[in-house]
Amino acid sequence: MNTKINLNSLGYQELENFVTKELLLPKYRTAQLWNWIWAKNCTDFESMSDIAKKTRERLQEKAYLFRPAIEKVSKSKDGTTKFLLRLEDGELIETVLIPSIAKDGNGRVTQCLSTQVGCAMGCTFCSTGKLGFTRNMSMGEILGQVQTARHYLEDTHPERPIIRNLVFMGMGEPLLNFENLMKSLETLHHKKGLAFSARRITVSTCGIQKGLRELGESNLAYLAVSLHTPTQEKRAMLMPKASKWHLEDLLSALEKYTLHARERMTLEYLVIGGVNDTAEDAGELVKICSRLKAKLNLIPYNDTPNSPYKAPSPENLLQFEKKLWAKNITAIIRKSKGQDIEAACGQLRAEYEIAKNKG
């Protein structure tokens, strides 16, 4: 059994306690270590050149640095890159890099992060939901996705594009891993580390009561809500576990959610052909959007193997959008990326497991 401590899973105060109480070192060593781990993306103690050799040897005896290992990489023709990552206990999770070009012409990347191994919510349209729930991820595993992706970009891209935005929209429900989510957000904001601002981070939830208010009051991230349906009846069909918190109660909580100047929450709406893309659905969605300070992302469903659902036709999708715009609702159709590499959450892991079992 490994009794060493993985420093990647320690928040700043925890690291300071380890440095001063376990290693009996001066407090300033904390800032040095933190900077090497998070700002410089260091993978081993030996590379920490401004730390004395004896101190590095003590670190080797008491601690280690672990980040998720790349099991498989799939790259789309549109530049989207999906990783299957192996955690320390052998569990597999996914993260995705989505490229874009900034106004200055430089490459920018948005990374989609997972927070749980699998997911307990069981949404009927979601590949991750079919995998079931295994466990929560630690802070080191959550942010290790960023570390691994940064290292990959440095090795494979001469121009070294910047991971500019982070979206907690991968495998799992972030608010069901609230303690490690908040710990991750605090670490992301630390000025001596990754130094992300709140406007560069979005946390997506399907609507979990516990932790929602605290997330808003923290001012650590923007909020996205996976709405996907405008009625409680369809919510119960598509999102059976999330629907236990009634849609009306969720909307009431969102009306009270802490938003700052110029800030709007995002409503994510997965448009499924013949299920939630009717004129009646659009009318109900208008009522919801009129109650909230929000923008609406319309996401066309990706056809997946053995799914009972289908993508909306392009014509119906445009008609649905027009009905919303006609009522002055800010609705944007989000172009699906990575369709040729199973970029929907859980698809890559599911395909990998099937292929492994056949082998």
Write out the catalytic residue numbers: 94, 345
3 state DSSP class of 121: coil
Binding-site annotation: residue ranges:
119, 123, 126, 172-173, 204, 226-228, 302
Cβ proximity of 343 and 96 under 8 Å: yes
Binding residues for S-adenosyl-L-methionine, as ranges, are 172-173, 204, 226-228, 302
CA distance 343 to 299: 13
In the sheet that holds 162-168, the strands lie side by side as: 69-75, 81-86, 92-101, 107-112, 162-168, 201-205, 222-226, 265-271, 294-300, 331-333
298 φψ region: left (φ > 0), alpha (ψ -120 to 50), beta (else): beta
Positive or negative CA dihedral for 14, 16, 18, 21? negative
SS3 state of residue 34: helix
3-state secondary structure 279-306: HHHHHHHHHHHHHCCEEEEEEECCCCCC
Burial of 2 (0-12, 13-18, 19+ CB in 10 A): exposed
Q: CA-CA distances (angstroms) from residue 209 to 90, 182, 254, 345?
A: 31, 16, 10, 23
CB 93 within 8 A of CB 171: yes
Residues belonging to the binding site for [4Fe-4S] cluster are 119, 123, 126
